[in-house]
Amino acid sequence: MEKLHVDFAGMRFPNPFILASAPPTRTAEMIKRAFAAGWGGAVTKSIALEPAKDLQPRLRSLRYRNQPIGMENIELSTTWTLEDWRREISEIKSAYPRRPLWASIMEAPVKKNWQRLAEAIQETGVDALELNVSCPHGMPSKGMGAFIGQNAELTGEVVSWVKEVAKVPLVVKLTPNVADIAFIAQAAKEHGADALCTVNTVSGLIGVDLDTLAPLPAVGGVSTYGGYSGPGIKPIALRCVAQIARATGLPVSGSGGVAAWEDAVEFMAVGAGTVQIATAVMWHGYGIIENLVQGLARYLDEKELPDATSIVGAALAKLVEFPKMPLEPRVLAKVDETCNGCLRCVVACRDGGFQAISGVAGERAAVDAEKCDGCGLCALVCPRSSIAMTSCS
């Protein structure tokens, strides 16, 4: 597995898969089990000078056909004290001295607090500090998390404060809940960030109980906006990673919706040097690392790529602004012999497209080339992948 090794901001990882700062990194015992399972690195649960108190319950899933496709949390930073974490980190580093461990830290924009926290944590031998200026719920009301990360000036100040005392690399974790994440990323770079991470969860409201009309997850009959994660935020996360990678040139740790090795390759292709995962671990356990590692290794072999690093940024040159998108070549829908005549494409094209597909239940659908506009809706809804968009020429 030598080809899976990656260098990131001066740190050597056995593979690019990192446990994100979240419940799976809540204790030393948990992180050590993850390292034993094969994870390349980990970021501790976010540490503050004052421990948080969590709500119960604080998680809720978004489901489609009874399968979770996303999750909202209203969980805060760690409930442990700074001294608790100093002991825990020392224990982890003693057991796994060569496995990169980052400490996630967060505070209100007070210089002495950020510096006190950074100095106390880095004494434990932690490999990097991840500055959490991106938590979208709970903490902003205290002047923490996204309260800082949504303001370029504040973000820059916090980075500069920690940089004054830092003896290890600074990774700044950015929020997607901004108009221009590249602008915030540039401020972090200008004030001393060694690397960036994105995205944290997306601010959201997961749903409403139809019986009580209380927002979810309900605690004592009320709720609040939370952080949405899982496969549903992957497109947002990919866009953010690509934007900050191009804007800053700094190493980027990508996060948001990664559930399989294929997702990891996509994140790396748009500029991520490492990939962070939380929700998928919460749903399926640390054991998913085996498929992640084996899948990535197999992909590198099949594509005859020398190592994982060769993927990083490979797709960025193919990202252009919309006015530069080509109007040619044109494409048309083509239905193959696997079509079973379910007519989903017929309905979709009739009511959401160009009325270019016709058919009879149980028989192969037909495409009118004169009417087809090549939008791709029919291929999107086909449950059997029986439709492909092919060149008109």
pLDDT tens profile 343-366: 999 999 999 999 999 999 999 999
User: What confidence score (pLDDT) does residue 392 get?
Assistant: 85
User: What confidence score (pLDDT) does residue 329 get?
Assistant: 84
Q: Where are the alpha helices (DSSP H) in 138-233?
A: 146-149, 152-165, 181-190
Task: Kindly name the residue from 135, 197, 339, 378 that is annotated as catalytic.
Answer: 135
State residue 338 phi and psi, 5-degree precision: -80, -5
| Mean pLDDT, the chain, whole residue set | 97
Q: Where are the alpha helices (DSSP H) in 249-343?
A: 261-269, 279-284, 289-302
Distance CA 333, CA 159 (A): 51
Q: Each residue of 322-334: pLDDT tens digit?
A: 999 999 889 999 9
Distance CA 195, CA 75 (A): 26
Before 199, cis peptide (omega within 30)? yes
Q: Is 373 exposed, middle or buried (0-12, 13-18, 19+ CB in 10 A)?
A: middle
Q: Each residue of 221-269: pLDDT tens digit?
A: 999 999 999 999 999 999 999 999 999 999 999 999 999 999 999 999 9
392 classed as catalytic: no
User: What confidence score (pLDDT) does residue 33 get?
Assistant: 98
Reported as a pLDDT band with limits 50, 70 and 90, residue 118 is very high
User: What confidence score (pLDDT) does residue 142 get?
Assistant: 92
Distance CA 73, CA 216 (A): 10
Is residue 283's pLDDT more than 90?
yes
The model's pTM:
0.96
Q: Please give the average per-residue pLDDT across 122-139, as a whole number.
A: 96
Q: Which domains does the chain have, with CATH numbers?
A: 2-318 (3.20.20.70), 326-391 (3.30.70.20)
